[in-house]
Structure 1
Amino acid sequence: MKKLFLTMLAASALAQAQTGDIAPDLRAQILLERAHFSAGQIDGKYGSNMQQAISGFQKARGLPVTGKMDKPTWDALDDGQQPLAQYTITDADVAGPFAKVPESMADKAKLGALNFASIDEALGERFRSSPALLKQLNPGKDFSVAGEQITVPNVASIAPLPPAAKLLVDRSERVLVLLDAAGRAIAQFPSSTGSEHDPLPVGEWKINGVGRNPHFNYNPKLFWDADPGEGKARIPPGPNNPVGVVWIDLSIDHYGIHGTPEPGSIGKTESHGCIRLTNWHAMEVAGQVKPGFPVLLQE
């Protein structure tokens, strides 16, 4: 009886959300994600990433740039799709494999792969959302049970991007922008872009190549905050690899565009000089670039 009640409650919540009873910030983040002007990991909270996403979308669509959701912006974002969807957890979802990720590089190097630590983390990555948001959308649901139906952000069928011609990274705005041949922004993703110790290498560069599911060759001499006594280590691939699921090599030694094991930190923390994106955005960018692709890094 309790499970039936919770199922009815979730179905009711989904029905209400689909008819408009959903927090505006959550709705906006989902629509922005589908429009390729992302606020980063979907968490339903208005912050600096969301402000930049709205501003970037408004600028690209020729709307007044306010960084806030207004009627013209809502109208321009309306793609006719519902903001939420239902997903049935599968046997493969439950099977994982899952394993706690150790802190030290030496211990990471001992593993065969750096997989997700939990199904909560895996589902969060799949639906571009914070695990906390998924829990909020699904009170009483057990994510470890195959066959369980859950409510998720509707991001499964995002339209593919048109071809990009140039990549721009802006340090002050903490965004990566893909431009078409006419110089128009077709996508914008939040990014983490250097620090005072490892500043962004401002200038014009090119893409050398793309490596998917890369190993990470850790050299403590390249990290100002490395622990004393640490040695070199070859870190295995996986979503919890320090550079995530893709490495986009730039034409400057030791610098690249890559994913991250901590999607909630993107745009909010500093990096070691490279350009960090969520894993899903890094993969989208990887699908747009090739060797020789132009890159502009600016302040």
Structure 2
Amino acid sequence: MKRIFILPCLLLIAGCNAAPEGADSSQKPTVAADADSLRFEDAKTDAAPFAEPPILRAQVLLDRLGFSPGVIDGKEGQSYVAALRGFQEARGLAVNGRLDAATEQALQQGRTAPATRMVVIPAGFAKGPFVPAFPKDAAEQARLPALGYRNLTEALAERFHTTPETLVALNSPATLVGAGRPFRVPNIPDVDVPKTGEDPRGWNGTLERLGVAPDQLAAAKIVVDKAEGVLKVYDEGEKLVAQFPATMGSRRDPLPIGTWKIQGVSRNPDFHYNPKLFWDVSNDKDAVMLKPGPNSPVGVVWIDLNKPHYGIHGTSEPHTIGRAESHGCVRLTNWDAARVAQMVKPGTPAIFRN
């Protein structure tokens, strides 16, 4: 794979999302687990019914329909409102950013699905590998064989498009997290990922661990809208078919307004970290090559543009999307970036506008 020499967005590393402490040691796994399984089966439990907040249910449905609210957290933030507006536009509804009756009916599409599931954590998912003492310094990161998750809680949060804090709220600080144990999560379903063909970068496993189906709608063009803070996907008929919240540019490194083209997609890429390309990093630091992983500065994917050093990519800090600044490029959550990667191809127009 070609090395990526880019001007990356902010090199921000998330704080440690440790598994809950003070857990009841009497809890036992509910099923015997297949050592390689990544499938989340329904848990058989006598847990009390869960009262599902309407916003949480709407976020799950929006995510499943391709109008991402960013992290699913049950909060009425700007990414949630933008997702509602995008969905309303796509469905020909009044675009008001509110969960009104017409929008709720359109989201449900005649089906009822719970906002959360009680699942059994599969052994293959629980075994990692993890990097508990994830270093902040790029030189130390360069010594790692992969830039993986810090722990199982962080991996579960990305798999179900949420945050470790939300998982604790859905369960309890005393809930044990491990293979074979029951756990409540947002209802982001398993996906069927092809296992045939060459996959030297492990992309099939990445899609499965992120709950992203390999088959997605084809993008005729994408539009990065600075005013709305989103990346929009359009089909051949100029219809809006998907939308994702994005972090894009800053006062120091503004979004490059204009019409560009996608040159290629690097899945699970190596990352060439060059301090000379950062205005806020000392030039005394050495350039290093970082291995792939979800906690890479560019996340799990780099979508290259025909403007040098600029692209669309994932992040190690999904909760910052739409709230932080970047060094000019477009940053998405890892699960949204992976989905966009399956929609675009070389030559797809990428329009950046204010």
- TM-score, normalized by the shorter chain, greater than 0.5: yes
The one-letter code of the counterpart of 1:97 is P
Q: Greater helix share, 1 or 2?
A: 1
The one-letter code of the counterpart of 1:136 is A
Selected match of 1:28 from 44, 49, 58: 58
Q: How far off is 1:163 after superposition?
A: 2.2
Query: What TM-score do the two structures reach when normalised by structure 2?
Result: 0.78
Runs of 4+ aligned residues of structure 1 deviating over 4 Å after TM superposition are 1-4, 157-160
> Structure 1, residues 175-196: CA drift from partner, whole Å, max 9, x if none?
0011011111100000000101
Q: Which runs of 5+ in 2 are unaligned?
A: 1-23, 31-42, 192-212
Provide the C-alpha distance between the structure 1 equivalents of 2:46 and 2:228, rounded to a whole number of angstroms: 39
Selected match of 2:347 from 275, 285, 292: 292
- Map residues 183-202 of structure 1 onto 2, 5 A cutoff: 183-202=238-257
Q: How far off is 1:3 after superposition?
A: 5.6
Q: Is 1:67 aligned to 2:97, yes or no?
A: yes
Tell me the matched-pair count.
291
> Structure 1, residues 94-123: CA drift from partner, whole Å, max 9, x if none?
321111221111111111111100111000
Q: How far off is 1:157 after superposition?
A: 5.0
Q: Is 1:93 aligned to 2:125, yes or no?
A: yes
Q: What SS does the corresponding residue of 2:224 show, helix, strand or coil?
A: strand
Change (3 A) 1:2 1:207: closer
Q: How far off is 1:210 after superposition?
A: 0.6
Structure 1 equivalent of residue 142 of structure 2: 109
Q: How far off is 1:2 after superposition?
A: 9.3
Q: What SS does the corresponding residue of 2:264 show, helix, strand or coil?
A: strand
> Structure 1, residues 145-190: CA drift from partner, whole Å, max 9, x if none?
3210111111115785432211110112110011011111100000
Q: What SS does the corresponding residue of 2:233 show, helix, strand or coil?
A: strand
Structure 1 equivalent of residue 218 of structure 2: 163
Q: How far off is 1:93 after superposition?
A: 2.6
More relative contact order, 1 or 2 (CA 8 Å, 6+ apart):
2
Q: Which runs of 5+ in 1 are unaligned?
A: none
Contact kept, 8 Å, 1:161 with 1:186, in 2: the verdict is no
Structure 2 equivalent of residue 130 of structure 1: 163
Provide the C-alpha distance between the structure 2 equivalents of 1:196 and 1:231, rounded to a whole number of angstroms: 26
Selected match of 2:230 from 139, 163, 175: 175
Contact kept, 8 Å, 1:141 with 1:148, in 2: the verdict is no
Provide the C-alpha distance between the structure 1 equivalents of 2:46 and 2:116, rounded to a whole number of angstroms: 11
Change (3 A) 1:237 1:188: same
The one-letter code of the counterpart of 1:82 is P
Contact kept, 8 Å, 1:193 with 1:276, in 2: the verdict is yes
